[in-house]
Amino acid sequence: MVSMGQRVGRHQPGGRHQPGGRHQLGERTPAGEAWSASWAQASPLDRGLSAATELEVLARRPRIGERLIKAFLFLCGALSILTTVGIVYELSKESLLFFTRRQWEVTNKPLAQDIEAGWTSFEVGTSGASLRDGALIRVAGELMRVEAIEGTRVTVVRGVGGTTAGAHGAGTVIEMANQVTLREFFGKTDWNPQIGRFGIWSLVNATMMTSVIALAVALPLGLSVAIYLSEYATDRARATLKPILEVLSGVPTVVYGYFALTFMTPLLRSIFGTGVVEIYNTASAGIVMGILILPIVSSMSEDALSAVPNALREAAYSLGATKLETALKVVVPAAFSGVAAAFIVAASRAIGETMIVAVAAGAGPNFTFNPFKAAETMTGHIVRISGGDLSYNSLDYNSIFAIGLLLFFMTLTLNIVSQRVVKRYREEYE
Amino acid sequence: MSKGRERRAVRSDPWQVGGGSGIEGDGFAPRLNRRHRMANVWRTVFRLSTVVGILALGLLLVNIINDAFGYVAIVNTVDPLELGEGRPLEELPKETLVQILEANVSAGLFRRFAHDEPFEERASGDVINLIYENVVKPRVVNQWTLLESLTQRRTILTQGPVDYPGASERSVRVRFESWVDVAFITSPQSADATRAGIRTAILGSLWTIAIAILFAFPIGVGAAIYLEEYAEETQLNKLIQTNINNLAGVPSIIYGILGLAIFVRALQPLTSGALFGMTDPTTANGRTIISAGLTLGLLILPLIIINAQEAIKAVPNSLREAALALGATRWQTVWSHVLPNAMSGILTGAILSVSRAIGETAPLVVVGASTYITSDPNGPFAKFTTLPIQIFQWTTRPQSVFRNIAAAAIVVLLVLLLSMNGAAILLRNRFSKRL
């Protein structure tokens, strides 16, 4: 560096620069001195050549340290990709297990007669769980596929899945395979792992209930707050009110759960009657969740509203519009993309919110549209069943991942939609 | 709008062509009034919404404070003063305490205590705890909120002691209990609500947060530097950026599930400490502090990256150009010019992310926080509980007295969060002054 500076200094035409400063600065260092000595000895042609080669050397010298640093920093960034890949991979892998795992359920239904190896139709007892058409059953190690059921007489295909058909004595208990199918998962409304019922809709429905209630609270309130802060409040009022509201979103969600259970639920019960409102209910959880996402809506919307240029407001005023008309008919439509994005982000947050619903919404799946009844949401269910020591090779463990995958896609879709909305409907102002 | 108005004006008074008188003649004034009324009504609505928001915050805090202090009525199975023959247990020497314990519990139970830890090695506070848990057995039979305690003090003090059938008047003690106090913070968990504390939970929180920040801060800042200073406009880099934005919106419980699958299960030899021969004999699985810390680290990583990116973006380009013009390499520019200038913003963002991590509950429940531990965590491979987990568990207990200690724990958590945010502001001010 020093030598470069000197070279430039020497080649500069004498007149314009002070002869003192730069030369002295360079020659103070020993390297500079050595270089200037060799420079003085070399012929003019050499000088040009050596300068050129040295420059090339400078440019070409591999900077291993720099490369390593860049590679390390890239890895830091790439870790985020790895996280996403990890999430998708693990969720999918275990979900796949969830849908392929065969769980043997003891039906407590015995064979009513001794059967021979060649029989395809026999009597079974009346007790125990009923068999299903097409179900896979196991009788003392032999697999059979149920073809038809008429009263207590079943017709089967013997020796399925590589097992050999044999003779079985009366009283041998039949086991039935439980396998969760996608059709059952998305087609049924009762979720009860103990008896092999895996209809996701009771959980999704509860999630939707709490989220819709939360949004019904947070969207109008949040937008009103945003309009007030951006259009009506003085700068000073905004500077104090906005951070105070944002404190709300900094409070841990488990605290909101506590608030829902100890304040909102008793309040609802005293208003609507203890007979109507259960101790755990989706309304209480939803309202409190609305308070939680209120600052998200108000803050993001306020940012969007404030970004609308004043010229638009002034134009509206000059046409005789009142402040309200300006706000609702000019400013809010102009900031539509930001406000819509705020709404969608809030919805995504509501769907993924866990602790409030885990504490206040109820601990048991329940397919109901009554907001005063207890119902377990997707997130609440995950928290409840993973609370204990969960064994890795169980349907419960896999079901966490199946629910998680659904949750992941729901929130991801909302987030992507919100980004699209911002991009597509953004009004650009100079 | 104005067009319609004019048309109507013309219709109502065809001979008046001039604008002004037409407007006055036809109900424009009432309509204007109505518009102004609407404007006023809605202004009030907007203002009220803001008030409602702030009110909600106030209610939240008041509700917690209200539960964290107040009178309690306690029934002791045996009066502790009787045990100490008139002197409080705290004043007695340890030998006497051990004798009291031996005299009042079964021989088998006493032997078990001695077996767990010899009495010579126990502190006298520990022995007092044993006496309380096994002999005195205090039960909270009623509690009043702070508001009730302040407004109905007389009624509580006079009627409180005699209200409980089955408990003699002497054994009922009514006293004002501040659930948040030094003993609450310093004593370990206990099944007895009046003696339970959050020491293990606080230590667990600190451990997990420390691991999370050690993991996420360098990587997060590194990623931010890469994206802001190095990355060219390639598809891969765009993908990384989009991906980070999306990760910030993933619900925290999904991170918990990821942590369960990766850190707890797949990396069990590592996270249980088996690889280092440091397994905690009571757990010996991956549900440890380090799993929880790494999970939280992944959770706050996108937040740290996004905040750090904003801070780096805010550094004026002239600084970089000046450094590069003097022949500094890219890394030298970043290290000596960009980072010092962006550090205040980066740190503020990091502290805010950490305060988010401290309050996280759901991912830790999924990763496998322990429900009940009384011993302090002794390293990254110990099983853990954290402050929010403790709050969650106490809140969901059916006995209402646990709500009080949950409220007390919330007070501690909120104070912790407030002081962290305060520290963030202070730090930012200090750094920005120095530069």
Say if the Cβ atoms of A79 and B392 lie within 8 Å: no
Of A78, A390, A404, the CB nearest to B240: A78
Edge-first strand listing for the sheet containing A136-139? A103-110, A173-178, A136-139, A142-150, A153-160, A121-123
Amino acid, single-letter form, for residue A51:
A
Highest mean pLDDT among A42-46, A98-102, A130-134: A98-102
User: What are the backbone dihedrals phi and psi of residue B141, each rounded to the nearest 5 degrees, phi first?
Assistant: -100, -20
pLDDT at B275 over 90: no
User: Which helix (DSSP H) or strand (DSSP E) does residue A103 occupy?
Assistant: strand A103-110
**pLDDT at residue B347 greater than cutoff 70:** yes
Q: Which of residues 54-73 of A touch B (CB under 8 A)?
A: 63, 65-66, 69-70, 72-73
Residue B302: its chain A contacts at CB < 8 A? 80
Q: Which residue in this structure is represented by tokens 């740290």?
A: B304
Taking only the tens place, the pLDDT of each residue in B210-256 is 999 999 999 999 999 999 999 888 888 889 998 998 898 899 999 99
CA distance A28 to chain B (A): 18
Give residues with Cβ within 8 angstroms of A2, minimum separation 6. Answer: A26, A29, A31, A32, A35
- Whether B359 contacts chain A with CB within 8 A: yes
* Average pLDDT score, chain A: 82
- Report the pLDDT value the prediction gives residue B259, as an integer from 0 to 100: 93
What's residue A287's pLDDT?
95
Q: What is the pTM of this model?
A: 0.80
At A359, the pLDDT band (50, 70, 90 cuts) reads very high
DSSP conformational letter for A194: G
Highest-pLDDT range among A25-29, B81-85, B325-329? B325-329
Which region among A403-407, B54-58, B189-193, B305-309 has the lowest average model confidence (pLDDT)? B189-193
Q: Looking at residue B8, what is its pLDDT?
A: 45
Give me the mean pLDDT over the B275-295 stretch: 79
Report whether B169 contacts B161 (CB < 8 A): yes
Domains plus CATH for chain B? 70-177 (no CATH), 199-434 (1.10.3720.10)
CB contact under 8 A, A259 and B64: yes
Kindly give the interhelix angle for A235-250 and A282-306, rounded to the nearest 10 degrees: 140
Inspect the interface and report whether the beta carbons of A87 and B359 lie closer than 8 Å: no
- Interface test mutation site (partner A, options B49, B65, B415, max chain A beta carbons within 10 A): B49
Distance from CA of A125 to the nearest CA of B (A): 43
Q: Say what the pLDDT of residue A184 is.
A: 80
Mean pLDDT is highest, among A191-205, A281-295, B335-349, for A281-295
pLDDT single digits (tens) B386-428: 999 999 999 988 888 888 889 999 999 999 998 888 888 787 7
Q: What are B85-137's pLDDT values in tens digits?
A: 777 777 778 888 888 888 888 888 888 887 877 777 777 777 777 787 777 77
pLDDT at A377 over 70: yes
Mutate to test the interface with A, among B226, B355, B402 (most CBs of A within 10 A): B226
H or E element: which one contains B52?
helix B28-68
Tens of pLDDT, residues A70-79: 999 999 999 9
Burial class (CB in 10 A: 0-12, 13-18, 19+), B76: buried
> Which structure tokens are listed for B301?
């990583």
CATH architecture of A102-178: Beta Barrel (2.40)
Across-strand partners of A121? A155
Residues A3 and B329: beta-carbon distance below 8 Å:
no
Q: Residue B162's pLDDT band (boundaries 50, 70, 90)?
A: low
Predicted confidence (pLDDT) per residue in B297-329, tens digit: 999 999 999 999 999 998 999 999 999 999 898
Q: Are A181 and A135 in contact (CB under 8 A)?
A: no
Residue A261 makes CB contacts below 8 A (sequence gap 6+) with A284, A359, A360, B395
Question: For residue B19, what pLDDT band results from cuts at 50, 70 and 90?
Answer: very low
Quote the percentage of chain B above a pLDDT of 90: 33
Report residue B65 as tokens: 């404070």
Distance CA B351, CA B399 (A): 36
CA A227, CA A205: separation in Å to the nearest integer?
32
Domains A102-178 and A198-425 share a fold: no
Hey, how many other C-beta atoms are within 10 angstroms of the C-beta on A50? 13
Q: Is A263 within 8 Å of B59 when comparing Cβ atoms?
A: yes
Question: In a 3-state reduction of DSSP, which class is residue B176?
Answer: strand
CA B13 to CA B21: how far, in whole Å?
A: 10
Mutate to test the interface with A, among B33, B46, B247 (most CBs of A within 10 A): B46
Q: Which residue, among A280, A260, A252, has the nearest Cα to B63 in the 3D structure?
A: A260
B257 near A CB under 8 A: yes
Contact of B379 with A395, CB cutoff 8 Å: no
Identify which of B48, B54, B67 has the shortest CB distance to residue A262: B67
Band (pLDDT 50/70/90 cuts) for residue B154 is confident
B177 forms bridges with which residues in the sheet?
A: B70
Provide the CATH topology of domain A198-425: MetI-like fold (1.10.3720)
Asked if residue A237 lies in contact with residue A284, where contact means CB atoms within 8 angstroms, the answer is no
Structure tokens at B294: 């790494």
Long-range CB contact pairs, A85-88, < 8 A, 24+:
A86/B258, A86/B262, A87/A408, A87/B250, A87/B254, A87/B257, A87/B258, A88/A408
Residues 299-338 of B with CB under 8 A from A: 301-302, 305, 326-327, 329-331
pLDDT tens track for A49-63: 555 565 565 666 677
- Pair of tokens at residue A53: 């080669």
Chain B residues with CB under 8 Å of A65 CB are 331
Interface contact flag, B53 A225, Cβ < 8 Å: yes
Q: A79 CB near a chain B CB, below 8 Å? A: yes
Q: Which residue of B has its CA nearest to A386?
A: B366
Instruction: For residue A202, give the nearest of A328, A381, A37, A44 by alpha carbon.
Output: A381
Diameter of chain B measured on Cα atoms? 113
Residues A204-215, mean pLDDT to the nearest whole number? 95
Which residues in chain A are closer than 8 Å to B368, comparing Cβ atoms? 386, 389-390
| Cα B11 to the center of its chain, rounded Å | 67
CA gap B296, B209 in Å, rounded: 8
Q: How confident is the model at residue A47 (pLDDT cuts 50, 70, 90)?
A: low
What residue segments make up the domains of chain A, in order of their start? 2-60, 102-178, 198-425
DSSP state, residue A239? H
Alpha-carbon gap, residue B115 to B98, rounded angstroms: 14
- How far apart are alpha carbons B249 and B243 in whole angstroms? 10
Q: Give the model's pLDDT for residue B410.
A: 94
Report the pLDDT averaged over residues A193-217. 89
- What integer pLDDT is reported at residue A418 of this predicted model? 87
Ordered alpha helix ranges (H), B121-198: 124-131, 146-151, 153-159, 182-186
- For residue A112, the cross-strand partners are none
Q: What pLDDT is stored for residue A2 in this prediction?
A: 37
Query: Could you tell me if B344 and B371 are in contact, meaning their C-beta atoms sit under 8 angstroms apart?
Result: no
Phi, psi for residue A155 in degrees, rounded to 5 = -110, 130
CA B245 to chain centre: 24
> Interior CA angle at B331 toward B325 and B332, to 5°?
55
Higher pLDDT, A26 or A222: A222
Of A225, A255, A359, the CB nearest to B396: A359
* CA distance linking residue B154 with residue B89, whole number of Å: 29
Taking residues A391-416, report their average pLDDT.
88
Give residue B165's pLDDT band: very low, low, confident or very high (50, 70, 90): low
